[in-house]
Amino acid sequence: MSNVYVLDHPLIQHKLTYIRKKETGTKDFRELVDEVATLMAFEITRDLPVEEVDIQTPVVDDAKAKVLSGKKVGLVPILRAGLGMVDGMVNMIPAAKIGHVGLYRDPETLKPVEYYVKMPSDISERELIVLDPMLATGGSAIEAIHSLKKRGAKQIRLMCLVAAPEGVRLMQEAHPDVDIYLAALDEKLDEKGYIVPGLGDAGDRLYGTK
Ligand code: URA
């Protein structure tokens, strides 16, 4: 799984354990997802290019320092669960622009259907990070990324908390150019499409809708 990065940081793993636990309530679940997104932001941006600049400090007039250079970042949460990862990312990348993609599953074809897309006008110039806590069958993320490419996106990464191997495989087939960043790669999907052991329905747990 060459373009899959499991962010095996102790803090991420510790917090993910509490996110998974069934007794974790909405408030804590939300806070933990937020915190893990912040920690993942740190890792997913590790290879962003930097350039050297000349600055003055209170001590010297000619210090060399580094700033981010090149492409700017765009965040694209997939509605609705992806919204839970936005604030955590924005803590680290405050200038990021944010696009949204909404998809629902057609009850007959079971295929994802786009119902809402609003993107920054310059997505072709941005390094886009698609946010969705769960990469289960891969259907929504694959469709969302098709939609971004159709609108001109060129550089896309996918960031999820938990993935199933089935979803990762389909994503790699559909979009081999998209690197995938995860907090955990789980065992499998069950017959209802839940990730095992997973964390349940991420949207319901974030928004207390169950
Ligand atoms: N979506 C979820 O929220 N949870 C799963 O386990 C699978 C898809």
Residue 1 reports pLDDT greater than 80: no
**Catalytic one of 26, 45, 179, 201:** 201
- The complex's ipTM works out to 0.94
Whether residue 54 lies inside any domain: the answer is no
CATH number at residue 159: 3.40.50.2020
Whether residue 149 lies inside any domain: the answer is yes
Whether residue 57 lies inside any domain: the answer is no
Whether residue 61 lies inside any domain: the answer is no
Predicted confidence at residue 166, as pLDDT, reads 97
Q: Say how many CA atoms lie within 13 Å of 79 toward its Cβ.
A: 14
The CA–CA distances, whole Å, from 25 to 18, 73, 198 equal: 10, 32, 16
Residue 70 reports pLDDT greater than 80: no
Predicted confidence at residue 110, as pLDDT, reads 77
- pLDDT tens column, 172-195: 999 999 999 999 999 999 999 999
Domain that includes residue 163, residue range: 4-49+70-207
Residues linked to residue 51 through DSSP beta bridges, in sequence order? 67
Candidates 160, 195, 196, 199: which one to mutate for ligand 1, based on the most atoms within 8 Å of Cβ?
A: 195
Q: Is 147 one of the annotated binding-site residues?
A: no
**What is the average pLDDT score of the chain?**
96
Distance 134 CA to ligand 1 centre (A): 5
Residue 16 reports pLDDT greater than 90: yes
Domain count, the chain: 1
On whether the CB atoms of residues 138 and 82 are closer than 8 A, the answer is: no
In angstroms, the first-to-last Cα distance of the chain is: 34
Whether residue 63 lies inside any domain: the answer is no
Residue 145 reports pLDDT greater than 80: yes
Predicted confidence at residue 81, as pLDDT, reads 96
Predicted confidence at residue 12, as pLDDT, reads 98
Q: Which helix (H) or strand (E) holds 53?
A: strand 50-55
Predicted confidence at residue 176, as pLDDT, reads 98
Instruction: Report d(CA 13, CA 184) in Å as an integer.
Output: 8
Question: Which residue, by CA, sits nearest to atom 5 of ligand 1?
Answer: 194
pTM beyond 0.90, yes or no: yes
Whether residue 89 lies inside any domain: the answer is yes
Whether residue 18 lies inside any domain: the answer is yes
Confidence class of residue 51 from pLDDT cuts 50, 70 and 90? very high
Question: Which residue, by CA, sits nearest to atom 7 of ligand 1?
Answer: 194
- pLDDT tens column, 90-125: 999 999 999 999 998 887 887 899 999 999 999 999
Whether residue 81 lies inside any domain: the answer is yes
Predicted confidence at residue 71, as pLDDT, reads 78
What the block records as the tokens of 29 is 């679940």
